[in-house]
Structure 1
Amino acid sequence: MSATVNFYFDTRKQKKDGTYPVKLRITYQRQQRYYPTEISLTDVQWDKVCKPKPREDFIRDTKALLDSFSNRAERVIKNLPVFSFDEFENRYAGESRAKPDHVFALFDAHITQLKSEGRAGTADSYQCAANALLAYHARKTPLSWSDITPQWLKGFEQWMLTKGRSITSVGIYLRSLRTIYNQAIEDGVADRDAYPFTKRRYQIPTGRNVKKALTLSDIEKIYHYPAESMSAEDRARDLWLFSYLCNGMNPKDMARLTYQQISGGHIRFVRAKTERTKREVKSIAVAITDDVQRIIDKWGKKPVRHSSYVFGILTPGITAEREMALIKQFVKTINKYIRQIAEVVKIDKDVTTYTARHSFSTVLKRSGAPIEFISESLGHQDIRTTESYLDSFEDDVKRQYANVLTGFKNSK
């Protein structure tokens, strides 16, 4: 029997500010011990933290901070050969003492941890954030937690925009910094009272992406494009269509696709992006149409083996870093040729692998498919995520409905 980790909202003694402490509770063989988290909340705040999808910044960040406490405890428990409370306490406290005390040192430690877990893509994203923050800081002295003020964050945002970076990139980098800051609070090296990422202090911007979906007529042009048979252009066109036809399958999931995931007229897979989440993740089922089967037969590696990668983008036994490099090259190649095709057939949009995913969801929306079905097909946990993917209706559809407003003219 393994020890379990959860939280206890200790209402036995109220603090002067009207809050109660939240404690980490470890249970093993019906014995329980409690450990401080230095987080105190009101009854209302605790109820909100316990909900699955909080919306308020403070509640969401507090929930993330509590998750970091439980993650550390679970990591310690997992690495214990035999559980005992004394050994748990020694190692749990030791992890906290060993943490670095300035921003970039903790970034480095977090990136190293991600790489050790085989999460090369996420590590690369954090490294990009650290590089941008380091370039903005531009001092010989380390960036301390007290330096991260609302004014500093606003300055970074403006600096990024003057460098031609998008507001979306600003948001990605600052969400990485927020995660690191929460880790620093957990480790006791940053002051929770000075936490800058709140609604009243500084809110991380959220950019709305330019819509990337194609119309059905544009997709038809790509579908019928006369590429030279078995050429690199032909392969890129077919694999872009494969992504579009297979629920907007991500290039990483395409690269990882094996023949054992194909059976009974369906492809079933779990998105690489969600496989590490703690929530129960449902597999995505893709119906194999004639076109999907044609692409598999045409470009699938031979001989067919149960555990073989279908498209031969990856090879077994490679490192996470090598996998990431191969997938990046795969995406680069597809994008190179699909852009060329789009230019020839006069599609006035930047067509990429990402466009295939947006086009899948938007074409379904325009056909009248329920958003719940689209959300399940994309593998989203939250319908709001699906809504952000959906493009606006085509201009001719808008015109059709606009004419309805004066339909009385036709009746005459």
Structure 2
Amino acid sequence: MYNVSVKVKRRKSIEAGKRMPLYVQIIYRREVRKMALPYQLSEEEWDGGREEINIPGESTSERSKELYAIREQFSRDCRTVRSVIYLKEKKGSFTPDEIVEACKERFAVANLTKYVEKQICVLQGEGKDETARHYQSTLNAFMHFRGGCELRLDEIDAPLLKEFETYLFSSGVCANTVSFYLRVLRAIRNRAVRDNLVEAIPQLFSNVHTGIEKTRKRAVQENVILGLVALQLLSPALQLARDLFLFSYYARGMAFVDLAHLTRKNIVGDKIVYIRRKTGQELQIRLLPEMRRLIARYQYVSGPFLFPVLTGSRPDYIGYQSALRVQNKRLKKLGKLVGTDLSTYIARHTWASVAAQKGIPEELISQGMGHESVKTTRIYMALLDTSRVDRANEIVIHKRNCKSKPVYKVVL
């Protein structure tokens, strides 16, 4: 087996004190390749034996500061070269030219900001605007933590992540927001692993908070839904907001972003068939009479969409964000009429919670909502009715007999 020889050298000059460029010399199977580095050093500033950058005592303050910065960047470059060679050796067959090209590619895009911005463009091209927004907000938070100081992807290590977590908590950010930023950062790094820009480190995020803590449940009791149905509304805007909320509830808690983008083409026979914009999963929902009535109410609305949420002139992500703000503003007004807080999320959470209350198995609820795991579904659950727990307490305290029957029976 051949080993890869890597040495960093400085080009020589006959002129004393002249700054000359550094380069990486790669030897593999007796083939030699050279790769230039963007640093120029004098003979006194380079230790060829140790392959290290010196900071001579007679250096000016400005030059010393410059050399410290070069030393840090040079160290990162060396780690990148070692990482590339490690990955190539793991895969097996490779050439010196492939090592050089991989290093150049790493140097070009391994800058965190450039890489994330590139991924944001890719996500936007795929129509995943919400994920793109998450990437941007995470990048903003991380670079604020860094004080605007750039870094490479391979510099993201466990100590740095712990510092970022501490910074977020000390800034007063709640635990779930800390988890959000760290999970998005993990997703970004996983993309970089798939792009062969960094090594996979399985336990890299194991010592930082990436879990989801229980928060105030965003669900309402079933009688609130009935109250909304019974409302006599004179405002067309509030009536539309109520209808959209109810349709989301009737459609197994359909997310507002999916509801807003429904078109007549999504109606296939007696079902609505659509692709979840968040996960790309196809869902099929049988049209209930309540859903048909709401669709019929807006059948003469011009445009391709089932409901007048997005306009033909602005069906993009910015248009959706504007529509979402308008919907939540109107739901806030409706909430005052029924005596509770309302938002687009609440319809989705309520469907899951009411289903659980009626004894429908978690697995079925999870499938109905298009969740990738039951764990996600449990976040949506809320104990809307404590009467059964109260009765259990009475049985324990007063020693009454308990004869309970399942509310829901699954027929296979």
Q: TM-score range by the shorter chain?
A: 0.5 to 0.7
Q: 1:346 to 1:191 in 2, by over 3 A?
A: same
Partner residue, 1:244: 249
CA distance in structure 2 between the aligned counterparts of 1:409 and 1:189, rounded to whole angstroms: 65
Q: 2:276 aligns with which of 261, 271, 275?
A: 271
Partner residue, 2:163: 155
Describe the superposition over 1:270-299 as per-residue Cα deviations: whole angstroms up to 9, x where unpaired.
212222xxxxx4x32323233212211223
- Aligned to 1:386, the other structure's residue is in SS state helix
CA distance in structure 1 between the aligned counterparts of 2:186 and 2:321, rounded to whole angstroms: 27
Q: Is the 8 A contact 1:103 1:180 kept in 2?
A: no
Partner residue, 1:137: 146
Q: Which has the larger radius of gyration?
A: 2
- Aligned to 2:232, the other structure's residue is in SS state coil
CA distance in structure 2 between the aligned counterparts of 1:146 and 1:94, rounded to whole angstroms: 12
Deviation at 1:138, TM superposition (A): 0.8
CA distance in structure 1 between the aligned counterparts of 2:364 and 2:200, rounded to whole angstroms: 41
- Aligned to 1:268, the other structure's residue is in SS state strand
Partner residue, 2:220: 214
Partner residue, 2:286: 287
CA distance in structure 2 between the aligned counterparts of 1:102 and 1:196, rounded to whole angstroms: 22
CA distance in structure 1 between the aligned counterparts of 2:164 and 2:290, rounded to whole angstroms: 48
- Aligned to 1:405, the other structure's residue is in SS state helix
CA distance in structure 1 between the aligned counterparts of 2:107 and 2:219, rounded to whole angstroms: 48
CA distance in structure 1 between the aligned counterparts of 2:378 and 2:89, rounded to whole angstroms: 35
1:101 corresponds to which letter in structure 2? Answer: A
Structure 2: tracts of 5 or more residues without a match: 1-83, 403-412
Q: RMSD of the alignment, in Å?
A: 3.7
Aligned counterparts, 1:37-76, within 5 A: 38=87
Q: Does 1:114 align with 2:105?
A: no
Q: Does 1:310 align with 2:306?
A: yes
Aligned pair count reads 316
Q: 1:37 to 1:175 in 2, by over 3 A?
A: farther
Q: 1:410 to 1:205 in 2, by over 3 A?
A: closer
Q: State the TM-score, normalized to the length of structure 2.
A: 0.66
Describe the superposition over 1:105-145 as per-residue Cα deviations: whole angstroms up to 9, x where unpaired.
22122222222333222211100111111111114x31344
Partner residue, 1:223: 229
1:179 corresponds to which letter in structure 2? Answer: A
Q: Percent identity?
A: 26
Q: 1:397 aligns with which of 388, 393, 407?
A: 388
Q: Is the 8 A contact 1:196 1:202 kept in 2?
A: no
CA distance in structure 1 between the aligned counterparts of 2:265 and 2:155, rounded to whole angstroms: 52
Q: 1:240 to 1:138 in 2, by over 3 A?
A: same
CA distance in structure 2 between the aligned counterparts of 1:337 and 1:375, rounded to whole angstroms: 29
CA distance in structure 2 between the aligned counterparts of 1:95 and 1:259, rounded to whole angstroms: 49
CA distance in structure 1 between the aligned counterparts of 2:193 and 2:371, rounded to whole angstroms: 30
Q: 1:368 aligns with which of 337, 359, 362?
A: 359
Aligned counterparts, 1:341-352, within 5 A: 341-347=334-340, 350-352=341-343
1:244 corresponds to which letter in structure 2? Answer: Y
Q: 1:243 to 1:40 in 2, by over 3 A?
A: farther
Deviation at 1:146, TM superposition (A): 6.2
- Aligned to 2:316, the other structure's residue is in SS state helix
Deviation at 1:361, TM superposition (A): 1.0
Deviation at 1:407, TM superposition (A): 6.0
Q: 1:268 to 1:114 in 2, by over 3 A?
A: closer
